[in-house]
Amino acid sequence: MSELPPTSDRSKIVLGIESSCDETAVALVRTDRTILAERIASQEAEHAPYGGVVPEIAARAHAERLAPMLEAVMDDAGMSLEDVDAIAATAGPGLIGGVMVGLVSAKALAMASGKPLMAINHLEGHALSPRLANPELEFPYLLLLVSGGHCQILLVEAVGEYRRLATTIDDALGEAFDKTAKILGLGYPGGPKVEKLALSGDPKAVALPRPLKGSKEPHFSFAGLKSAVLRAHESGKYRPEDIAASFQQAAIDCLIDRLGHALSRTEVPPALVVAGGVAANTRIRAALEAFAETHQMRFAAPPLALCTDNAAMIAWAGCERLPLGQSDPFDFKARPRWPLDPEADTVRGAGVKA
Ligand code: KG4
Ligand code: ZN
């Protein structure tokens, strides 16, 4: 173990657990933004034969891995539960079996140690993760949250205050990347594979639709794009790398158009932030950075390891809530659906996995 940076007396430590999809993860994070220890186990190999996440397999894998991982993370940091100030776990939205494994474990640890429990919204974890990496990032900021289960534009006004400006009416963008990968026979998870293949393709080679581009409606839609990818592939006329590059470009055009629409409806905040698994995509990051520059906004994207599902972001959401004196009761229920903005209208599809 390397030596930890010195702590101030007021720093607190939060243990975070993530188990809402196909990553089992545990982290110890200090309120001064130090990640003291973290471990993550992906279930890619278990789900790969099915081309997507199988909820029952995911729940079992979380149940098998979580306890040894908790022990290992505490060991890595050379700490015991006594050193921890709060226990945070993803309590939704996500695949309910997995969420329950993490939340119940956190409840047991909190109960046994007498430390507060924090039931974290997974989306809040993504929404606040850029502040873990970036101490200068102040509220408010415009957040593009793009993952396998979600595609939303949110105005992040403060901890716990999120205004949803747009969501998807059908597929999430990560889902569209995964389906494109499946159509092209690239395997699962698809995002990084499509991105890699697109590097050698021509983004103008295939004329693909940009669903809802220019629409007065604020939302995203990717189902039509995915179907067009399927038709292009089945026509046999195009190289897979050209389809991948054209798909990625169409997705980027949609993101930029919808962000422009969102900005036309709100006061332009000082920063644009991207989070969620799709934020790992280099071309998408570059396009967002250019968009931010045109609108005189700062651009922030967390490092790749903080973009995809992880437990440091869950522990960090706990760190953000700790000074506000927020904790949750032991009867807090796992929630398969849990919108960040409860005032936002329900939208068809809404891109929630499960
Ligand atoms: O945030 P995340 O790890 O899990 C969810 O909460 O959904 O996001 C996973 C999603 C997957 O759909 C994956 O294909 C996509 O993020 N993804 C990418 C890239 N890396 C991961 N999509 C595009 N380009 C990438 N480089
Ligand atoms: Zn996620």
Mean pLDDT over residues 158-186, rounded? 95
Does any ligand 1 atom lie closer than 6 A to the CB of residue 191? yes
Q: Which amino acid is at 81?
A: L
For ligand 2, a single-atom ion, the residues with CB < 5 A are 147, 309
Does any ligand 1 atom lie closer than 6 A to the CB of residue 281? yes
Q: Do 247 and 194 contact (CB within 8 A), yes or no? A: yes
User: How far, in Å, from the CA of 238 to the mean position of ligand 2?
Assistant: 32
Whole-prediction pTM: 0.90
From residue 123, alpha-carbon distances to 143, 152, 154, 263, 278 in Å are 11, 10, 11, 21, 14
Q: How confident is the model at residue 6 (pLDDT cuts 50, 70, 90)?
A: low
d(CA 59, CA 63): 6
Order of all β-strands in the sheet with 271-275: 161-166, 151-158, 141-146, 271-275, 298-300
Looking at the CA of residue 308, tell me the nearest atom of ligand 1: 3
Does any ligand 1 atom lie closer than 6 A to the CB of residue 125? no
According to DSSP, the β-strands at 271-275 and 117-121 are unpaired
Asked whether the CA dihedral 250, 253, 259, 264 is positive or negative, the reply is negative
Does any ligand 1 atom lie closer than 6 A to the CB of residue 97? no
Q: For residue 174, what are its two tokens?
A: 């990560």
pLDDT of residue 162: 96
Q: How confident is the model at residue 189 (pLDDT cuts 50, 70, 90)?
A: confident
According to DSSP, the β-strands at 151-158 and 141-146 are antiparallel
pLDDT of residue 343: 86
Tens digits of residue pLDDT in 234-250: 999 999 999 999 999 99
Tens digits of residue pLDDT in 300-311: 999 988 998 999
Please tell me the residue having the least CA distance from ligand 1 atom 2.
277
Residue 5: is its pLDDT beyond 70?
A: no
